[in-house]
Structure 1
Amino acid sequence: MPLDDVIDSPKTDVHALPTDRPALAPAEPSSRVRYRGLIWLVAAAFFMQALDSTIVNTAVPAIANALGVTPLSMRTALTSYVLTLAIFIPMSPWLCDRFGTRRVFAWAILVFSLGSLLCGVAQNLPQLVASRVIQGLGGAALLPVGRYVLARSIDRREFVGAMTTVATFGLLGSVFGPLLGGTLVEFTNWRLIFLINVPVGLMGLWLNRREMPDYRLDRANRFDTFGFMLFAGASALMLMAAETAGGHGQWLRVGGYAMAAVALASLYVRHSRRVAHPVSDLSLLKVRSVWVSLAGNLFTRLGVSGMYLLLVLFLQIGCGWSPLAAGMMMVPQAIGSITVKPFIDRLLTRFGYRRLLLGNTIAVAGVLCVFALLSPSTPTWVIAGWVYVYGAFMSLQYTSMNTLAYVDIDVRQASMASSMASTAQYLSMSFGIALASLLMEGFLTSHEPGAYVRAFRWSVVVLGMVTLAGSWVFSRLRETRPV
């Protein structure tokens, strides 16, 4: 059934006047106007999650110093959060069907806020990692449930515009994160970067009671517990292989983890074909726009997800910048992203997904490689200008990739598509952060500032080449435009 058929369509009430002449009722507002409060709620959730995903980056050197570890070892605190998101996101469709979107979204906000509180009081790295996992348990439902509810509530013709609005607030969170993190670390205490989520979460709970629709099934399908365990095990083992690869003489363990991950993934593929309601429905990959969106997300985010961590290390350790100054360098990225947002819908309509994503992915790879030309003597305005350019291209890339998965499916598949898109996004983010950290660690010859500069340069070139591989994926797409 097409999406437009199940979304509450405007109804025209015609009343007879005393003269029996019909009068047209006033035109009802568009779905974006009717669900304005919902859009704000989902945008607030995206803002909170993006804030927390990026606020740690600027504070990495300070937190590492406070906990007595090296800056690059902090990657575990970053990857544990996004990997937890990826593992538990596939549960969100079943949870929504069983308990309803309003209740699931409320519990997600509550658990996320609790995890933030525990992060703020952590005394060592293992405690911080465990608290980040709790954050991830809550955050795992925020993004897919938000996307799903918008897909159910907003007219398809207005969906890209609604997602652009939501993505803009997520973008603001990703910018205020480093800026706020740098400010708090420099003038107060790093623990406040987590504790500020608590009042934001309370506001989200209030909005949820007012604005969140309660979509659910009368009888939810049975949850695919065995499939979930296979998927979770494969994902965790693959990240363990990536994390272990940074150690010397660990290649036997790396190979063991990788082989076990491949074995569990293969078992899941066979299992998903035999059950009626798998935790991730791989049959959706038969839709070309879906598999291109997921695979393109994987290669692109492998290349760019660790970029902010590398840039912070380059600026703070390699160039001697303060945490606040390094955080402020994210502001041009936000400005570049916001500048492009109003034009994305028109660009997609004119050029289509294939041409736009193919050309833009090549451009992003080139932009990453140009970062290798930066040095401690590069003028601040030059760095800021290039960060602005990077933000503009990445804004176009993210919005185009995130909406591509929905253009050829109907509402019955929207929940699963949202879950799979979010899972692919966060899996690739966790692997991308691990890859960037491992590259930086591999190229690092000492802990002197100059060594960090050289390692940064080689790392961004390799990441640019990884991103370039995504252009081949997008070349497999047929000419597709927003509906």
Structure 2
Amino acid sequence: MPPLDVIAPPDQPDVQTLPTDRPALAPAEPSSRARYRGLIWLVSAAFFMQALDSTIVNTAVPAISGALAVTPLDMRTALTSYVLTLAIFIPMSPWLCDRFGTRRVFGGAILVFALGSLLCGVAQSLPQLVASRIVQGLGGAALMPVGRYVLVRSIDRREFVSSMTTVATFGLLGSVAGPLIGGALVEFTSWRLIFLINVPVGIVGLLLNRREMPDYRLDRAHRFDTSGFLLFAGASALCLMAAESLGGSSRGFVIAAYALGAVALGTLYVRHSHRTDHPVSDLSLLKVRSVWVSLAGNLFTRLGVSGMYLLLVLFLQIGCGWSPLTAGLMMVPQAVGSIAVKPFIDRLLTHFGYRRLLLGNTIAVAAVLCSFALLSPQTPPWVIAVFVFVYGSVMSVQYTSMNTLAYVDLDVKYASMASSMASTAQYLSMSFGIALASLLMAGFLGAHSADGYVWAFRWSVIVLGMITLAASWIFGRLRDPRAVPATGAP
């Protein structure tokens, strides 16, 4: 049978056409972003669901603690267990993708996450809630790294930043909507709905996964690095426990034991990773300049900014006497600023390159953090809203640039590992940042009354701004990735 494009239309005689020198115009090839639009929406929905769940619980802590007959301080375990599970199990995602394929792993992650949400919604005690949050973390640990990895494999590099911008915007919306939705659900319905709303979203995600998710895998996956995983998981867990303990009432020797244990296990893992062919976290990728700059810059940036929302809420509620709902609404200008600048980030990177943009924007982030020290209880709300809007704008540029930098010089076969390492570093540094902000606030507050929160807030944001400024030196170590072809990792 001849190809379809040369078959004459039915009920018409064959037509002899005259030769022409003009070549036939081939149909335009759709861009990778257009071809994978459904995939981008699927990954965006998963990021939204995870970001929503990471923030929605905070505003419900008093209601949940009352329902479960525990103190709000006891709820700390339910909050940290989720992040701890994410940090520990994210490094498994590259091997899972190679062994079972991205479609199965991503679908399984959605299913486990939805199941964990259901269990959280019906929990009757704090231990049950903590166990259910761990189940949620097991599913959430694969959502971000697998989603990023599939986008790296599927989307053309010229369109990757714009695609990740779309995904990051939905993640941002989830983070902003979390406190507002959580407060509304707790006030007008039940705290259990903050978990149960993930169940229908998960069902839709499973349907989309079957249709839109590519299935990338290796024909023969290597053996899983169980020893390396246990060492890496132990070091990560002890790091987080040390960071969380700093913000609590643990004794000094307990914190020191956690820290020394983390250092010991981390050192053993470094030695182990050099002796195995397929380590759970491939430290050889750090030989690529853009990778180690991305991870180190992420660490110092998030040390400075991760606790900012906590400090701002304390300042507004206790220092300024705002209601919790009014203080939560102050996240809206941050979201507006972040979303407003998103469409321009791709062009900014094209014009300035990663080095100049990250160097200048990190200095801007540090300056904005320090400028929050100018606020007082007498500052009009619209002025505070302007500060928060500007902060959201510069952080939008910072997050998108940092999160895409790790991939610009890597061959696509290293994308899964790079995504895993970036996500793990992100959650670890977020925990450290929140603990550091809490320590600074407590240290500057001392024995002061509620009026001291304003003074403590001012000095805390100045210190955090200086820490963030250190990241600009790290980003200054970059060569401009636009001028360097992607040569792959060692």
TM-score relative to the length of structure 2: 0.90
Contact 2:243/2:431 (<8 A) preserved: no
Local SS of the residue matching 2:278: coil
- In the other structure, the counterpart of 1:179 is 180
In 2, Cα distance between the equivalents of 1:120 and 1:320?
32
- CA–CA distance in structure 2, aligned partners of residues 313 and 186 of structure 1: 20
The residue correspondences of 1:317-396 to structure 2 (distance < 5 A) are 317-396=318-397
The SS at the match of 2:480 is: coil
Q: Does 1:138 align with 2:142?
A: no
Aligned partner of 2:56 in structure 1 is: 55
Aligned to 1:112: 113
Moved more, 186-195 or 61-70: 61-70
Paired residue secondary structure (1:476): coil
Distance in 2, matches of 1:15 and 1:249, equals: 75
In the alignment, the residues of structure 1 paired with residue 469 and residue 126 of structure 2 have an alpha-carbon distance, to the nearest angstrom, of 35
Q: Describe the superposition over 1:318-356 as per-residue Cα deviations: whole angstroms up to 9, x where unpaired.
A: 434333322221111111001111110111111111111
Match for 2:89: what amino acid? F
Secondary structure, counterpart of 2:333 in structure 1: helix
Asked if 2 retains the 8 angstrom alpha-carbon contact of 1:48 and 1:173, the reply is yes
One-letter amino acid of the counterpart of residue 352, structure 1: G
Tell me the SS of whatever aligns to 2:482: coil
* 1:189-204 aligned within 5 A: 189-204=190-205
Structure 2 CA distance for aligned equivalents of residues 151 and 464 of structure 1: 32
- Tell me how far 1:65 sits from its aligned partner: 5.9
Contact persistence 2:232–2:265 (CA under 8 A): yes
Count of residues in correspondence between the two structures = 471
Further displaced range: 171-180 or 229-238:
171-180
Deviations 1:81-121 (A, max 9, x none): 22221211111011111111111111111111122223333
CA apart distance, 1:435: 2.1
2:68 corresponds to 1:44: no
% identical aligned pairs: 81
Instruction: Tell me if structure 1 keeps the 8 A contact 2:44–2:171.
Output: yes
What are the Cα deviations for residues 186-212 of structure 1, in whole angstroms up to 9, with x where unaligned? 333333222221221111111111111
Does 113-122 or 412-421 show the bigger shift?
113-122
Between 1:273-282 and 1:175-184, the stretch displaced more is: 175-184
Partner letter of residue 35 of structure 1? Y
Map residues 150-229 of structure 1 onto 2, 5 A cutoff: 150-229=151-230
Single out whichever of 402-411 and 314-323 deviates more from structure 2.
314-323
Query: Deviations for 1:418-464, whole angstroms, at most 9, x for unmatched residues?
Result: 11111111111122222223333444446954344444333322222
Is the 2:247–2:435 contact (alpha carbons within 8 Å) kept by the matching residues of 1?
A: no
Question: For residue 219 of structure 1, what is the amino acid of its counterpart?
Answer: R
- Residues 7-47 of structure 1: CA distance to partner in whole angstroms, max 9, x if unpaired? xxxxxx99568647763431121111111100100010011
* Cα distance, 1:360 vs structure 2: 1.1
3-state SS of paired residue (2:402): helix
Q: Show the counterpart of 1:281.
A: 282
Q: Are residues 110 and 356 of structure 1, via their aligned partners in 2, closer, same or farther at CA, if it must alter by over 3 Å?
A: same
Q: Which moved more, 1:323-332 or 1:43-52?
A: 323-332
| 1:309/1:130 CA distance change after superposition, 3 Å | farther
Shifted more, 359-368 versus 185-194: the winner is 185-194
RMSD over equivalenced CA pairs, Å: 2.4
Query: What's 1:10 paired with?
Result: none
Shift in alpha-carbon separation, 1:187–1:247, aligned structure 2, 3 A = closer
Determine the C-alpha separation between the residues in 1 that align with 2:69 and 2:313.
Answer: 19
**Comparing 206-215 with 387-396, which one deviates more in the overlay?**
206-215
Q: Which has the higher mean CA deviation after the structures are superposed, 471-480 or 287-296?
A: 471-480
Deviates more, 1:361-370 or 1:149-158: 361-370
1:413–1:249 distance in 2 versus 1, CA, 3 Å: closer
Query: Contact 2:409/2:481 (CA < 8 Å) preserved in 1?
Result: no
Q: Give the TM-score of the pair, scaled to structure 1.
A: 0.91
Range with bigger deviation, 113-122 or 343-352: 113-122
Q: Which runs of 5+ in 1 are unaligned?
A: 1-12
Look up the SS of the partner of 1:25 in the other structure. coil
Higher mean displacement: 39-48 or 129-138: 129-138
Is the contact made by 2:68 and 2:126 (CA closer than 8 Å) also made in structure 1?
yes
Structure 2 contact 338–392 (Cα < 8 Å) conserved = yes
- TM-aligned CA distance change 1:373 to 1:75, over 3 Å: farther
Task: Kindly name which structure, 1 or 2, has the bigger radius of gyration based on alpha carbons.
Answer: 2
Q: Is the 8 A contact 1:85 1:426 kept in 2?
A: yes
The DSSP-based 3-state class of the residue aligned with 1:29 is: coil
Residue 438 and residue 418 in structure 1: after superposition, are their counterparts in 2 closer, same or farther (change >3 A)? same
The unaligned stretches of length 5 or more in structure 2 are 8-15, 486-490
Q: For residues 172 and 179 of structure 1, what CA distance do their matches in structure 2 show?
A: 11
Q: Give 1:129 shift.
A: 3.4
* Cα distance per residue 1:152-174 (max 9 Å; x no partner): 11111111111111111111111
CA displacement 1:133-186 (0-9 Å, x = unmatched): 221111010001111111111111111111111111111111111221222233
Please list the CA deviations of residues 341-378 of structure 1 after superposition, one character each: whole Å capped at 9, or x if unmatched: 11101111111111111111111112122223333332
What's the counterpart of residue 244 of structure 1? Answer: 245
Three-state SS of the structure 2 residue aligned to 1:481 is helix
Secondary structure of 1:309's partner? helix
2:420 corresponds in structure 1 to 419
Residue 269, structure 1, aligned to residue 270, structure 2 = yes
Map of 2:399 onto structure 1? 398
8 A contact 1:246–1:442 mirrored in 2:
no
Letter in 2 for 1:348: L
Residue 257 of structure 1 and its aligned partner are, at CA, apart by: 1.4
Query: Per-residue CA shift, 1:30-88, capped at 9, x if unaligned?
Result: 11111110010001001111111222333445545666666666554433322221211
Does the CA-based 8 Å contact 1:59-1:190 persist in structure 2? yes
Distance 1:249 1:50, change over 3 A: closer
Contact 2:240-2:432 at 8 Å conserved across structures? yes
Measured after TM superposition, the shift of residue 265 of structure 1 is 0.4
What is the CA–CA distance in structure 2 between the aligned matches of 1:66 and 1:454, rounded to whole Å? 35
2:440 paired residue number: 439
The answer to whether the Cα contact below 8 Å between 1:319 and 1:449 also exists between their aligned partners in 2 is: no
Aligned to 2:13: none
